[in-house]
């Protein structure tokens, strides 16, 4: 199910172990240097993990959205628990901004974390998924769509 469909629902909820996928493709990307045609295309996976002790209905006091990455041997996928991109607790969501955060517009800056407080009860999951979308957009977009190409080598023959 698409996240856009999930977010349209009156109540948004997820469970420990649910997977999220960020699909990437090089739409509009024009290689400018040799060997840059291999722009990353594919699917980046993330897992929703409950932290703490679940209540009788299976709800956790904290949820984290963590990347799923290859282990150091390259033989299996594992959860990167040390680098959550979203942390959701009661009334609060903390989320990472990616390399192309519009607030900094600096791909060389490391991730920073932003906090949203005072979230209405029952809206934390919706807010967390929206923050995940913001992270994915800022992490995997090129973020440099404000350039102009000119010169004879880029002019179409008439």
Give 97-136 pLDDT, tens digit per residue: 877 776 666 666 777 889 999 999 999 999 999 999 988 8
Residue ranges per domain, the chain? 3-143
Nearest Cα to Cα of residue 21 among 132, 124, 127, 101: 132
CA distances (Å), origin 61, targets 57, 82, 86, 92: 12, 18, 14, 11
Nearest Cα to Cα of residue 93 among 155, 152, 12: 12
| DSSP category for residue 52 | S
Lowest-confidence pick of 5-9, 29-33, 57-61: 29-33
Contacts of 140 (CB under 8 A, 6+ apart): 22, 24, 44, 98
* pLDDT of 49 above 60: yes
Q: How far apart are the C-alpha atoms of 84 and 68, rounded to whole Å?
A: 10
Question: What percentage of the chain reaches a pLDDT higher than 90?
Answer: 50
Tell me the pTM. 0.79
């Amino acid at each position: 199910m698409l996240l856009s469909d999930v977010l349209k629902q009156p109540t948004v909820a997820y469970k420990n172990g649910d997977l999220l996928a960020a699909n990437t493709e090089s739409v509009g990307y024009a290689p400018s240097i040799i060997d840059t045609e291999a722009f990353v295309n594919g699917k980046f996976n993330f897992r929703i993990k409950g932290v703490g002790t679940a209540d009788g209905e299976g709800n956790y006091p904290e949820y984290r959205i963590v990347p799923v990455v290859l282990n150091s041997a390259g033989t299996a996928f594992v959860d990167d628990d040390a680098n959550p991109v979203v942390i959701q607790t009661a009334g609060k969501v903390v989320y990472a901004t990616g390399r192309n955060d519009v607030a900094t517009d600096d791909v060389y800056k490391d991730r920073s974390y932003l906090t949203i407080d005072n979230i209405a009860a029952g809206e934390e999951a919706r807010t967390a998924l929206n923050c995940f979308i913001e992270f994915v957009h800022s992490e995997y977009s090129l973020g440099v769509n404000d350039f102009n190409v000119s010169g004879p080598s880029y002019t179409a023959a008439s």
